[in-house]
């Protein structure tokens, strides 16, 4: 009975179901004990502070005796710190070292940073790079413009994969064999909302195929609009995605389609060029007016380039025609 209840709770999104994420029937390489230990570490969230064994058990759907042994072991290994006065645990510096090592090995963060900042300043919005974490996208890098109004997220923040522009861009770039099982999990989590969520994912795939970017208008949050562009590393290290987002009153759908989306595609192509050792002028572009309007360039660059002349890019997709 307890086991069935745990599975039901996991399906509702209140805790992980390990078998649904990685383990498959007959997978003899999967180490259950290691997976459970990592689930304990995942139970800690940015604003938690400290957690007791009971809270960790409820979040992970693991039996409390199992959690007690795991937290003891993780404390001995330096990943948790036990606060004897409170009878609770917090993440230790050992856990931080894993995250730092992971971030330090994302070379794309440093390469993309000046391009992302230039894009954020131009759009007066936020520009982020993210990767998959189960059914979410986690921010690996996040740059903001000087505007006081924007999307207030940080590195490590998570957004839903199924309804955000970043997540849909990521899904669109996956091979069918990888996307299908993820969509099955999304369907299980979405319940009655699945037809709407599925249509949004399919719309994202169509937009990526046509324009190179996808748009989310109030689908992640009612007052947030954004554009997503996939990034497929040549080294085979896994699909990532960029987004550009802001409050809806700052990024109207027409601006997303005709200006921000195409320019985000240009930015990602520039990132690809720089990662390959090339160079481009994206980071020094400054437009006084919107770049794309109805499919035509409508701004004048500060370096004196004539209005209507297209900037050089490493590659270009079909431009939206306003339909």
Over residues 55-66, the pLDDT tens digits come to 999 999 999 999
Residues 213/261, Cβ–Cβ less than 8 Å: yes
Q: For the beta carbon of residue 295, count every other beta carbon within 10 angstroms.
A: 13
Q: Which residue in the block uniquely carries the two structure tokens 């509702």? A: 12
Q: How far apart are CA 318 and CA 212, in angstroms?
A: 8
Domains in the chain: boundaries: 2-97, 106-297
pLDDT at 108: 93
Per-residue pLDDT in tens (0 to 9) along the chain, 323 residues = 343 333 333 333 344 454 455 556 677 888 889 999 999 999 998 888 899 999 999 999 999 999 999 999 999 999 999 999 999 999 999 998 988 888 888 899 999 999 999 999 999 999 999 999 999 999 999 999 887 666 778 898 999 999 999 999 999 999 999 999 999 999 999 999 999 999 999 999 999 999 999 999 989 888 899 999 999 998 888 999 999 999 988 999 999 999 999 999 999 999 999 998 887 767 545 433 333 333 332 233 333 333 334 333 334 455 454 43
pLDDT of residue 295: 31
Tell me the fold of 106-297: Beta-Lactamase (3.30.450)
CA–CA gap between residue 219 and residue 170 (Å, rounded): 16
Distance CA 105, CA 93 (A): 19
49: left (phi over 0), alpha (psi -120 to 50) or beta: left
Helix (H, G, I), strand (E, B) or coil at 309: coil
**CATH number corresponding to 2-97:** 1.10.10.10
Which residues fall within 8 angstroms of residue 242, CB to CB, at 6 or more apart? 112, 116, 127, 128, 129, 130, 166, 169, 228, 229, 231, 264, 267, 268
**266 token code pair:** 């240009």
The tokens for 164 are 């955000």
Residues 6+ apart with CB under 8 A from 199: none
Query: What's the confidence (pLDDT) of residue 147?
Result: 75
Q: Cβ(208)–Cβ(214) under 8 Å?
A: yes
Cα–Cα distance for residue pair 244/129, rounded to 1 Å: 9
């Amino acid at each position: 009975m307890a086991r069935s209840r745990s599975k039901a709770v996991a399906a509702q999104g209140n805790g992980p179901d390990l078998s649904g994420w990685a383990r498959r029937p007959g997978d003899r390489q999967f180490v259950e004990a290691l997976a459970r230990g990592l689930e304990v570490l995942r139970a800690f969230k940015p604003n938690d502070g400290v957690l007791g064994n009971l809270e960790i058990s409820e979040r992970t759907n693991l039996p409390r005796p199992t959690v007690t042994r795991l937290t003891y072991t993780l404390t001995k290994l330096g990943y948790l710190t036990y606060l004897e006065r409170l009878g609770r645990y917090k993440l230790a510096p050992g856990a931080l070292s894993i995250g730092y090592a992971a971030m330090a090995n994302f070379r794309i963060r440093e390469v993309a940073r000046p391009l992302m900042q230039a894009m954020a300043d131009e759009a007066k919005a936020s520009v982020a790079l993210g990767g998959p974490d189960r059914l979410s996208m986690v921010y690996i890098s996040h740059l903001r413009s000087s505007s006081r109004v924007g999307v207030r997220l940080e590195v490590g923040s998570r957004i839903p994969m199924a309804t955000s522009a970043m997540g849909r861009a990521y899904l669109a770039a996956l091979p069918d064999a990888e996307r299908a099982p993820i969509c099955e999990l999304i369907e299980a989590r979405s319940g009655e909302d699945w037809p709407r969520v599925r249509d949004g994912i399919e719309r994202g795939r169509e937009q990526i195929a046509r324009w190179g970017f996808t748009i989310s208008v109030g689908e992640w949050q009612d007052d947030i609009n954004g554009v997503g562009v996939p990034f497929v590393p040549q080294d085979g290290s896994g699909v990532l995605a960029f987004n550009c987002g802001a409050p809806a009153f700052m990024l109207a759908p027409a601006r997303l389609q005709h200006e921000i989306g195409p320019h985000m595609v240009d930015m990602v192509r520039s990132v690809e060029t720089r990662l390959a050792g090339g160079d481009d002028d994206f980071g020094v572009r400054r437009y006084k007016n919107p770049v794309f309007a109805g499919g035509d360039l409508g701004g004048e660059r500060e370096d004196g380039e004539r209005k209507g002349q297209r900037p050089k890019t490493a590659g270009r997709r079909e431009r939206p025609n306003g339909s």
